[in-house]
C-alpha cells in the first residue's frame, strides 16, 4: 500500500515525533525540509551550495531551490512507494509545485494530516523545551509570535487541502501512542 502524506501542525505539536512513528508504521520515509537542506549542504551538492549562500546570509531559501531539493528527494528509491512530508509545502506556490512533481509520475498526495493543539499547551511545551535545550531566545512572546505566523501561513494550505477533501485534523495532545493511533485510524 502506498502512502503519500503531508504532516502539518504548529511548532510544538509533536510533528517530528509523529513523523518518525508514522514512517515506521507505514514503511515510508519521513522527509523533512530541514533534513533535506542539511543533507545537501553537508554533501556539498550544487543545490546545497546554493541554499547555504541564502542560509548564511540569514535569508529564506527561495522556492525554486527548495522545490528542486524536494523533487530530487522524492525521486529516490525509498520514496517510490510513498513518503511522509514534514515542513513542505509551506506556500500555495509549493503546493502547486508538489502537485506538478507528483503528476509527472502519475501520483498525488493522499492525505494531509494537521495536528491540532491548544495554543497555551503548545506554548508551555515550547517553553519547557527551550529551558531544557538552553534556548534563552525562545520567550513566551517569541513563541506566541511564531504560532501566529504559522497560523497565518498555514491557513491557505489547509484551505486548499480541505477543498480537495484531503485534510484530516487530529488532536495532537495526549499520549504519543494514542496520537499515532488517531492519525493511523484517520488515514486507513
User: Would you place residue 20 in the very low, low, confident or very high pLDDT band (cuts 50, 70, 90)?
Assistant: very high
Encode pLDDT of 123-171 as tens digits: 998 899 888 888 777 789 988 988 988 888 888 999 999 999 999 999 9
Percent of the chain clearing pLDDT 90 (strictly above): 68
Q: Is 21 annotated as a binding residue?
A: no
Query: How many Cα atoms are found within 13 Å in the side-chain-facing hemisphere of 47?
Result: 19
Q: Say which residues have a Cβ less than 8 Å from residue 97's Cβ, sequence separation at least 6.
A: 63, 67, 70, 89
Residue 174 among known ligand-binding residues: yes
Over residues 94-107, the mean pLDDT reads 96
Ligand-binding site membership of 76 (annotated): no
Cβ–Cβ < 8 Å for 8, 111: no
User: pLDDT value at position 185?
Assistant: 96
Predicted confidence band of residue 61 (pLDDT cuts 50, 70, 90): confident
Indicate if the pLDDT at residue 1 is higher than 70: no
Q: Is 135 annotated as a binding residue?
A: yes
Residue 60 has pLDDT above 60, yes or no: yes
Using the predicted structure, report yes or no on whether residue 2 has a pLDDT greater than 80: no
- Specify the higher pLDDT residue, 54 or 113: 113
pLDDT for the residue 55: 82
Q: Measured between alpha carbons, how far is residue 139 from residues 22, 117, 127, 153, 178 in Å?
A: 31, 19, 7, 21, 29
Provide the whole-model pTM. 0.89
Q: Which residues are catalytic?
A: 15, 90, 129, 135, 146
- Per-residue cell: 33: 525540509
Task: Establish whether 53 is an annotated binding residue.
Answer: no
Q: Any binding-site annotation on 12?
A: yes
Amino acid at each position: 500500500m502506498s502512502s503519500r502524506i503531508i504532516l502539518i501542525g504548529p511548532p510544538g505539536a509533536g510533528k517530528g515525533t509523529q513523523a518518525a512513528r508514522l514512517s515506521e508504521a507505514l514503511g515510508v520515509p519521513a522527509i523533512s525540509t530541514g533534513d533535506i537542506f542539511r543533507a545537501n549542504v553537508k554533501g556539498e551538492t550544487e543545490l546545497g551550495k546554493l541554499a547555504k549562500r541564502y542560509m548564511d546570509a540569514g535569508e529564506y531559501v527561495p522556492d525554486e531551490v527548495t522545490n528542486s531539493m524536494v523533487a530530487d528527494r522524492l525521486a529516490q528509491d525509498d520514496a517510490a512507494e510513498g513518503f511522509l512530508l514534514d515542513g513542505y509545502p509551506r506556500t500555495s506556490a509549493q503546493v502547486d509545485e508538489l502537485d506538478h512533481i507528483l503528476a509527472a509520475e502519475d501520483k498525488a498526495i493522499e492525505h494531509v494530516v494537521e495536528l491540532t493543539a491548544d495554543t497555551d499547551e503548545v506554548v508551555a511545551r515550547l517553553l519547557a523545551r527551550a529551558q531544557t535545550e538552553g534556548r534563552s531566545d525562545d520567550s513566551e512572546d517569541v513563541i506566541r509570535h511564531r504560532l501566529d505566523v504559522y497560523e497565518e501561513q498555514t491557513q491557505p494550505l489547509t484551505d486548499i487541502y480541505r477543498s480537495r477533501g484531503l485534510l484530516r485534523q487530529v488532536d495532537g495532545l495526549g499520549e504519543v501512542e494514542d496520537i499515532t493511533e488517531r492519525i493511523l485510524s484517520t488515514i486507513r
